[in-house]
């Protein structure tokens, strides 16, 4: 079993926000919900009643739902936030699965209009490929003595993740990484040109609900060995320069609006 995360990003419109919010009300996220955070802590039953009352999604807002799936903790994070003169929707769903298809609502979410991109990945692997703080290793009882070290801008010793091909980078409210499975659509191609994707060997074009996506099936997170996984992640990142592009966006713009203005998104 693997701790799998599904990160979906949409450009908000009247149709998709209605479908996404209704999917939360209808519990299409697969796990059994228990508690909910929406400005305050609620049981899921009480929290969903408060959630139903929200009508103005032009205001940035977020919802966090906790529950259980296959006897393991699960979560959903729903966020609407400003993206220049648009709004972006993020839906993060985390489940412990035997296989990707055990999340039966995946195809439902992929078919919701104006999907920008989707990353499907092993949450624990990405966490420790990305973590740089020594104290977090110590708290988790993980050894870091054999890991490469570097200094941060304040001169503190941290883990050097520069050659961790499974790491992620957060930029312009998107978590970029070489995930097991990835979907990309317009206007993501203003961040990475579609021809760069098409020239990579593990890419195909798929149509979902009349939207064309580039689908990258990089590796099988359940069955492929770690050497193959890292080699394919490195090949994808070397080819697309995805993390370099994410770092550039993060470091060269003070905010999301400026970055997206540059990209003309």
Q: From 148, 195, 188, 149, select the one nearest 171 (Cα to Cα).
A: 188
Strand 149-151 versus strand 32-37 pairing type: unpaired
Per-residue CA distances from 85 to 47, 114, 245, 249, 261 (Å): 30, 16, 22, 18, 9
> Are 239 and 22 contacting, i.e. CB atoms less than 8 angstroms apart?
no
Q: From 200, 194, 191, 192, select the one nearest 234 (Cα to Cα).
A: 200
pLDDT for residue 48: 96
> Are 176 and 243 contacting, i.e. CB atoms less than 8 angstroms apart?
yes
Alpha-carbon distance of 171 to 193, in angstroms, equals 17
Query: Taking the model in full, what pTM does it have?
Result: 0.93
In DSSP terms, 41 is beta-bridged to 37
pLDDT digits (tens, 9 = 90+) for 6-29: 999 999 999 999 999 999 999 999
Alpha-carbon distance of 203 to 126, in angstroms, equals 22
Residue ranges of the chain with per-residue pLDDT less than 50: none
The DSSP call for residue 261 is H
| Token pair for 24 | 């939360």
In DSSP terms, 158 is beta-bridged to 150
pLDDT for residue 247: 85
pLDDT for residue 133: 94
Length of the chain (residues): 265
**What is the helix (H) or strand (E) element at residue 258, kind and residue range?**
helix 256-263
pLDDT for residue 153: 86
Q: How many CA atoms lie within 13 A of 148 on its CB side?
A: 8
pLDDT for residue 72: 96
Q: From 8, 11, 3, select the one nearest 183 (Cα to Cα).
A: 8
The residues, any chain, with a CB within 8 Å of residue 95's CB and separated by 6 or more, are 3, 4, 6, 30, 31, 69, 70, 72, 74, 102, 103
């Amino acid at each position: 079993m693997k701790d799998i995360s599904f990160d979906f990003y949409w450009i908000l419109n009247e149709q998709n926000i209605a479908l996404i919010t209704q999917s939360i009300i209808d519990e299409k996220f697969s796990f059994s919900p228990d508690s909910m955070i929406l400005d305050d802590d609620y049981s899921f039953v009480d929290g969903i009643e408060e959630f139903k009352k929200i009508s103005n999604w032009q205001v940035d807002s977020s919802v966090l739902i906790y529950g259980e799936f296959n006897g393991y903790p699960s979560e959903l994070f729903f966020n609407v936030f400003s993206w220049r003169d648009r709004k972006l929707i993020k839906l993060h769903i985390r489940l412990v699965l035997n296989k990707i298809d055990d999340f039966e609502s995946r195809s439902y979410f992929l078919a919701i209009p104006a999907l920008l991109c989707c990353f499907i990945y092993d949450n624990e692997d990405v966490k420790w490929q990305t973590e740089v703080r020594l104290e977090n290793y110590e708290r988790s009882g993980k050894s870091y003595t054999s890991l490469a070290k570097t200094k941060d801008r304040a001169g503190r010793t941290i883990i050097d993740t520069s050659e961790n091909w499974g790491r992620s980078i957060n930029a312009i409210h998107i978590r970029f990484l070489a995930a097991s499975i990835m979907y990309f659509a317009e206007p993501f191609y203003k961040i990475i040109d579609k021809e760069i994707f098409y020239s990579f060997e593990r890419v195909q074009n798929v149509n979902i609900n009349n939207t064309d996506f580039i689908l990258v099936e990089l590796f099988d997170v359940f069955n492929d060995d770690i050497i193959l996984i890292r080699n394919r992640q490195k090949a994808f990142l070397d080819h697309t320069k995805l993390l370099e592009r994410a770092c550039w966006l993060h470091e060269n713009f003070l905010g999301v609006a400026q970055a997206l203005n540059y990209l003309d998104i």
